[in-house]
């Protein structure tokens, strides 16, 4: 009975995602220039699906490893590192640098540095802190503040014109996604998803804790190391493609937990991905049709997600 409920819930979320996508495709579209407007909207939808699934899957896996529903890869300072990378490029090389203007160079540079940073933080600090959630959260806040302050310092020294150009690279946007990079990111995402879903049952075991997982025959350290690499790649490619969206993972994963109320990751992974896609498309519609592209989607997602994060912290404190 419970299984039927979860399957129906997944079906409902899939239908909702299709309806929201269809509404976005057709709303305020001019049929006289349909073949001009439609490709841009399709490109945004595909980018939203790629980024939404990447963030959702990486956050679910990350929270399974740390056994905490508040921590996410972005809260561990990853977004601040992305801002630091872009700011450093402008500060050292100027806005005319190919590293900033060439989307392919910027993508691969950001992807490489973000992946290395993520692996360092998640892999080695886990061992140093012995998975202590509060120390990890403290380190994430410190790292985020450190890189954020460095970025602010450099931004104060560059010219106002350069700063205006830099701002465009610091906020997530689906309006100008490079098609070639989107295809590359999609290929990387599919490879990572195949690896995850080939052995998704091990995530159910990892959720029980280290000792229980080892007793049930899982090579805990090897599996966690593999999953951390997958998390690093997924978060890095999504951030390098469109920019940082800090609280999206926190928001959609916790909503999925509230809806499904299960430890089975086959439901959590698919359900969270669908919720993430719905949230991003609704956010894009608000940006495009309500605010007329005067704000970026990351501002809206971070506003809602930030309020929800405070709510979770207060609820956890009362417990």
Least confident interval from 118-127, 279-288, 305-314? 118-127
194 band by pLDDT with thresholds 50, 70 and 90: very high
Residue 130's pLDDT is what?
Answer: 67
Q: Are 48 and 284 in contact (CB under 8 A)?
A: yes
**Structure-token pair, residue 253:** 């994963």
Residue 22's pLDDT is what?
Answer: 92
Q: Does residue 232 have a pLDDT over 90?
A: no
Q: Domain spans of the chain?
A: 2-318
Over the Cα atoms of the chain, what is R_g?
20
Question: CA angle 98-99-104, nearest 5°?
Answer: 90
Give tens-digit pLDDT for 199-224. 888 888 888 887 888 888 888 878 88
Q: Are 146 and 82 in contact (CB under 8 A)?
A: no
Higher-confidence residue: 118 or 152? 152
Average pLDDT over residues 68-73: 79
* Mean of per-residue pLDDT scores for the chain: 84
pTM (2 decimals)? 0.87
Average pLDDT over residues 252-265: 87
Q: Supply the DSSP string of 192-227, one letter for each residue.
A: HHHHHHHTTHHHHHHTT-HHHHHHTT--HHHHHHHH
Kindly state which CATH superfamily the domain 2-318 is placed in.
Answer: ABC transporter involved in vitamin B12 uptake, BtuC (1.10.3470.10)
- Long-range CB contacts for residues 29-34, cutoff 8 Å, separation at least 24: none
List CB contacts of 53: < 8 A, sequence separation 6 or more: 189, 193, 273, 276, 277
Q: Does residue 2 have a pLDDT over 60?
A: no
């Amino acid at each position: 009975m419970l299984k039927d409920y979860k399957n129906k819930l997944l079906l409902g979320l899939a239908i909702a995602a299709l309806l929201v996508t269809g509404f976005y495709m057709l709303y305020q579209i001019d049929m006289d220039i349909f073949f001009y407007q439609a490709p841009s909207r399709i490109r945004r939808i595909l980018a939203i699906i790629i980024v939404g699934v990447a963030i959702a899957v990486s956050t679910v896996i990350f929270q399974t490893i740390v056994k905490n529903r508040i921590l996410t890869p972005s809260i561990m300072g990853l977004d601040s590192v992305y801002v630091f990378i872009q700011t450093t490029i402008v500060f050292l090389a100027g806005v005319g640098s190919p590293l900033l203007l060439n989307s392919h160079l910027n993508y691969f540079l950001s992807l490489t540095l973000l992946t290395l940073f993520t692996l360092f933080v998640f892999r080695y600090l886990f061992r140093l802190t012995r998975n202590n959630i509060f120390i990890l959260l403290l380190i994430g806040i410190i790292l985020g503040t450190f890189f954020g302050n460095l970025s602010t310092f450099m931004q104060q020294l560059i010219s106002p014109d350069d700063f205006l150009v830099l701002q465009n690279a610091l906020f997530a946007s689906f309006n100008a996604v490079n098609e070639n990079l989107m295809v590359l990111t999609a290929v990387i995402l599919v490879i990572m998803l195949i690896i995850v879903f080939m052995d998704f049952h091990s995530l159910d075991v990892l959720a029980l804790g280290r000792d229980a997982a080892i007793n049930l025959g899982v090579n805990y350290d090897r599996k966690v190391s593999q999953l951390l690499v997958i998390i690093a790649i997924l978060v890095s490619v999504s951030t390098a493609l469109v920019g940082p969206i800090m609280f999206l993972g926190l928001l959609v994963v916790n909503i999925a937990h509230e809806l499904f109320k299960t430890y089975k990751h086959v439901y959590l992974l698919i359900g969270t991905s669908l919720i993430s896609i719905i949230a991003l498309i609704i956010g894009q519609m608000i940006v495009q049709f309500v605010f007329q592209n005067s704000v970026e989607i990351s501002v809206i997602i971070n506003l809602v997600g930030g309020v929800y994060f405070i709510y979770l912290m207060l609820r956890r404190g009362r417990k």
